[in-house]
Structure 1
Amino acid sequence: MIVTCPSCSARLRFNEKALSPQNPTIKCVRCQTSIRVELPAEPAPAMEDHTLVDKPIYQPTEVGWIIVHDEYTQAQTLPLQLGRQTIGRASVSKPCEVMIQSQDRYMSRLHLVIEVIKTKEGAYKYWLSEHPDCTNPTFVNTYPLKRGTTLEILDGATLQLGKTKVVLKTIAAVGNARKATDTVVHSEYLKTVLF
């Protein structure tokens, strides 16, 4: 879940399941303000009934991962969720949903947008475009991403943000974050495109 700090407007991501219903507060990492979070109400216990009830369909919270796989940047596994999320260099002043810890000055703080959608058949599609504020190059499997285009990317695609390379792993291909990380860490680095 993501909330915005009312004091400094920082966007904060946290796991709502880790909060206590008696004290649903988090602290802003930027200004240390305590923020009360409205937790979803717990469903009332079902009464004994012998009628058939449709069970809710399981919806994973993580539907893919961006794994930093670069010779010069620390390995990181960052989750993707359904919907639009911006990927970029970690920043306090311009936070985004998927922040990569990197010193790469060629990676924008708001670099890419990945939108994950679920099809009628239940599969996930991953659509990539540059963020409108991005001023640095992006490459997909060593080919430049043209400004203004939206591209469907598949499992195993290597994205180069500035000079930093990341790999997309999908839930359909690997199932969980640990397998995603293991698969990528034990693969060869794609060559870095020089610009």
Structure 2
Amino acid sequence: MKRVRCPKCDNFITFDETKYKDGQSLVFECTECGKQFGIRIGVSKLKDRPHDEKHDEQANEKGFGSIVVIENVFHYKQVIPLQYGDNSIGRYMKGSAANTPIETNDPSIDMNHCVINVSRDKKGNLKYVLRDGPSYTGTFVDNEILGDRERRIIYDGSLFTIGATSIILRTADSEE
């Protein structure tokens, strides 16, 4: 049995995946909120995308940008490179799932505080989308807290705050 999560309310829907073939599309309707959504069995959106792989090779030469971490009270400045896809930002701790860890003593930063997704728009330009983890203290962009499930497109020089730490986005274009 497989479980899928409703993208609107996080309710789990269980189904028997053995009744379907790889590549087959299924449509579900959430019993809690009524949202209809589709999935494709056995096919990852991250695999078999030569268009993205070509862009990835080009971007690996230039990079995907970085974040500049400025701890307001506690320690020092860090520059952490970003990768294509989800960059899970959080406090460094051995075994943490954060792939973009911040070395900090700031107790108000969760181990998985927020995520910056680096992808390409329809024109092939890099796009940066920020969302909260969810975290206990929240993620602030331009002094506004991101709501649950809210996503915000951020640009070069965008300032966001997690805990008592400020972070500035540096896009790949600005690093040339």
Q: TM-score, normalised by structure 1?
A: 0.57
Which one of 124, 127, 130 corresponds to residue 125 of structure 1?
127
Map residues 82-161 of structure 1 onto 2, 5 A cutoff.
Answer: 82-132=84-134, 134-161=135-162
Q: What's 2:83 paired with? A: 81
**Counterpart secondary structure, 1:59:** helix
Q: CA deviation at 1:142?
A: 1.9
**Alpha-carbon displacement from aligned partner over 1:153-185 (angstroms, at most 9, x marks no partner):** 11111111111111001011232xxxxxxxxxx
Counterpart residue number, 1:70: 71
Give 1 or 2: higher strand fraction. 2
How big is the shift at 1:59? 1.5
Task: After the TM superposition, list the runs of 4 or more consecutive aligned residues in structure 1 that deviate by more than 4 angstroms.
Answer: none
TM-score calculated relative to the size of structure 2? 0.62
Q: Over aligned residue pairs, what C-alpha RMSD do you find?
A: 1.7
Larger mean CA deviation between 114-123 and 100-109 belongs to: 114-123
Letter of the structure 1 residue corresponding to residue 72 of structure 2? E
| Cα distance per residue 1:52-101 (max 9 Å; x no partner) | xxxx6652222110111233331111011111120001011424110001
- Tell me if structure 1 keeps the 8 A contact 2:72–2:164: no
Residues 82 and 118 in structure 1, CA contact (< 8 A), matched pair in contact too: no
Identical positions, percent: 29
Q: Distance in 2 between matches of 1:172 and 1:122?
A: 13
1:137 Cα shift?
2.0
Rounded to whole Å, the distance in 2 between the matches of 1:86 and 1:70 is: 18
CA contact (8 A) 1:87 1:100 kept: yes
Gaps of 5+ in 1: 1-55, 176-195
